A and B are shown apart, each in its own frame.
Chain A
Amino acid sequence: MRRGISIAAAVTVVALAATACGGSDDKADGKPKDPKDVSGTITYWDTSDAATEAPTYKALIKQFEAKYPKIKVNYQSVPFTDVEQKFKSAAKSGKGAPDVVRTDVGLMAEYASLGYIAPLDGTAALKNTSDFSTGAMNTAKFNGKTYGVPSVTDTLGLLYNKDLLKKAGLAKPPATWDEFIADAKTIKKKTGAYGTYVNPDSYFLLPLLYSNGADMADPSAKKITVSDSSAVTALTTAKKIYDEASMKVDFANAYQNMQTAFKNGKVAMLIQGPWSVSDDLTGSAFKGKEANLGYAPVPAGAGGKAQAPTGGHNLAVYQGSGNLDASYLFTQFMTSTESQITIAEKTGTLPTRTSAYTTAVTSNAKIAGFKPILEKTARPRVALPQVGSLFTPLQQNYVKILQGDSSVKSGLDATAKQFQTLLPGYSIG
């Protein structure tokens, strides 16, 4: 009994034992079971927003149970911020772990390398994979195997307040980081609103790193690249934005303050993802004026290209699941074109299947706004198992650089040194 002593699990075991007795000759043949014969209970951990998105997922689960009456899905909502630790400790001990878990794409390499999630190649979970966008499919791969099925995708873009830009006499959003800083100054002078609000979270630094040709590390060359000259350029720009273009940053409450300031028209431009849009639309600057919210790709850097990390969520199956067959079917169902269309229409998140971009789906302003950005600027992040640990030193030194406690170069050198203890065998260069 790996999943703890719950009545549901006990029922599953009894049910499994019963089916095993009845159909033991099926198994002896080694033939895959007919999907209609799969039965049992599975647990699904959902990390979608409990208030706005979860009802859609719950409704889809009802449809799944109607299609496969012998399978029961136990839905559990887990906050996005807690899921990593909760899942890892449950997966390790096998007690209380879910069968299917909605996983941030940034965690895939870590889970897969630790053996927590099952490879899905050749299972029922993956169906019609050529339909998935390449970027989304890449996030599900680790060491050549597929460990997840892309469910929703996202990236960072430049969200802006059209009224404020117009008032400042700016015809279009900035295309480079230099223009971004110059425009921010113009906006401040002409309208009194701030150009931007820097989010000191290191994930939001990635567009600046990428668009200057920098990255945290280069796994193929086994090199830590976070302190090279292009990263120095990126961080110098970041510091300049913080000093010259941003509203004063409250580090302990940065995310909430940035959102509040932007949606109420105190800040004109933000580097943000599609998940923030529904919150933006509740503020005085956009409420009832959805068209006032502009979408653009992140600005380009010294290299001339604009790039932002691919985000989103994949569905992954717990390796120790007592009911892999049902878990595969559930994963397949939740990521099918029909389900993705439903999710996109109801929640405004971006589907990962190209066939799910129907006219009804793309008529949603949020999806229409982010679809071209995704196609133009989204790129994969380094798929290292240690990537979660790497963000901590980068984060702390980024804050030090912004606050002026250390220079750009010394901050990045310190980051690289700390990376080295986390990435054995890597050299700085």
Chain B
Amino acid sequence: MTTAASTAQTDKTARDDGSPRPARVSRLRRSWDKYWYAWAMVTPVAVVIAVLVLYPLGYGFYQSLTNANESNVAATIGAFHRPATYDFVGLDNYWHVLSGADGDFYPRLVWTVVWTVCCVALHVAIGMGLAVLLNRKMRLRGFYRAMLILPWAVPSFIGVFAWRLMLNSQFGVFNEIITAVGLPEQNWLGTPLAQKVAVIMVNVWIGVPFNMVALLGGLQSIPKELYEAAEMDGASPWQRFVNVTLPGLRPVSNTVILLGCIWTFNMFNVIYLLLGNNTTGDTDILVTFAFRKAFTGISDYAGAATYGIIILALLLAFSTFYRRNTLKSEQA
């Protein structure tokens, strides 16, 4: 951000020096004359983004303002013709969801937030611990790094199915191990609470490698001189960690935490695939809940779109807020 800001600054000064009358039109023309090739390069991407992102987004938002479902949207299939009979209902869907009238939103939101906070906290804590361990000279360092990246390299659905097999309470390997040492059998996925613990555990397993690698990169960019200076001043290892390592990691860790929150908030695979269909619904986070709305029986387009837009709004609000706060702390 600092680089971008400073470039903008230089641009501005350059422009002020060069053009005596900074009229908007002429500035636009100048920009076009000077950068037309850049605009031309950007156009295809902009078009693709508009088609792939903005159009569906706009359409989803429109659907969230209607009561559209699979049985009342227009359809022409061979000899079959059905005119559209859904209505524009304004913000009704949002009111229904946000007022708690549907009975699902707030319980799902609370669990989604708990899930995100637990996962990201563990991701960053364990990732940082491993990164610090691996950020020094030792034998087999490359081997350890490779092994620790493995969960990330395995496609997540395969990892999740492997966990499901291991957690099987009757024929799984975990119960065999603990009964072999004389402990009682556990029903790992037996109750909503146990399921919640299990999904967090599996997601932590999947997410730690990324955090470790990212933070390891951050650690290596902290100048050694800072540690030497701190040592000269008599700082203890803990003080060096708190006063040198953590501030030095902040640019990386801020981004990692932001990404982690967004990814975990929308982490569909782990919850959907680890627990299967015989659940109480208490373990659904917002995205898996919206998925069930959209893809069981007659699809509820309006309901699923409403949830989609609400999830987007939550994440947008969070990232804006978070960026603003971290920028402030970085500048301070």
Q: Which A residues fall within an 8 A CB radius of B? A: 85, 88, 91-92, 94, 110, 113-116, 118, 200-201, 247-248, 250-254, 257, 260-261, 318-321, 324, 385-392, 395-397, 399-400, 403, 405, 422
Contact = CB atoms under 8 A, between A and B. Distances in A.
Interface stretch (B129-137, B209-217, B294-302): B294-302
B279 interface: yes
Contacts of A85: 295
A398 B275 CA distance: 16
Contacts of B80: 115, 118, 319-320
B168 A403 contact: no
A279 to B, nearest CB: 15
Nearest to A400: B280
A43 B297 CA distance: 24
A252 B296 contact: no
A391 B278 CA distance: 11
B187 A257 contact: no
B78, B187, B276, B296: most-surrounded residue (chain A CB, <10 A) = B78
A389 B298 contact: yes
Contacts of B280: 396-397, 399-400, 403, 405
A397 B71 CA distance: 26
Nearest to B300: A389
Nearest to A393: B281
Given A94-B77, A113-B71, A253-B276, 5 more contacts: A85-B295, A116-B77, A251-B279, A253-B168, A319-B80
B58 to A, nearest CB: 19
A399 B78 contact: no
A389 B296 contact: yes
Interface of B: 70-71, 75, 77-80, 82, 164, 167-171, 187, 189-192, 195, 274-281, 292, 295-299
Given A85-B295, A253-B168, A395 B278 contact: yes
A251 B164 CA distance: 11
B274 A252 contact: yes
Given A252-B274, A405-B192, A115 B297 contact: no
Given A250-B189, A319-B77, A389 B279 contact: no
B71 A257 contact: no
A427 B70 CA distance: 23
Contacts of B169: 248, 250, 253
Given A115-B75, A118-B79, A403 B278 contact: no
A388 B171 CA distance: 31
Contact of B297 (A201, A250, A392): A392
Contacts of A422: 297
Q: 3 tightest A-B contacts by CB?
A: A389-B297, A388-B297, A115-B80
B161 to A, nearest CB: 11
Contacts of A399: 278-280
A386 B298 contact: yes
Contact of A200 (B171, B278, B299): B278
9 contacts: A116-B77, A252-B164, A252-B276, A260-B170, A318-B77, A385-B71, A389-B296, A395-B277, A395-B278
A257 B175 CA distance: 14
Contacts of A116: 77
A365 to B, nearest CB: 28
B294 to A, nearest CB: 10
Contacts of A390: 297
Contacts of A324: 78
B164 A253 contact: yes
B71 A250 contact: no
A319 B79 contact: yes
Contacts of B164: 252-253
B298 A403 contact: no
A131 B58 CA distance: 53
A113 to B, nearest CB: 6
A409 B298 CA distance: 27
Contacts of B297: 110, 386-392, 422
Given A94-B77, A115-B77, A251 B171 contact: no
Contacts of B191: 403
B187 A248 contact: yes
Contacts of A403: 190-192, 280
A395 B296 CA distance: 12
B128 to A, nearest CB: 32
Nearest to B81: A115
Nearest to A252: B189
The winner among B77, B192, B298 for most chain A CB atoms within 10 A is B77
Contacts of B167: 252
A386 B275 CA distance: 24
Contact of B71 (A114, A118, A253): A114
Contact of B77 (A91, A387, A397): A91
A389 B82 CA distance: 22
Contacts of B187: 248, 250
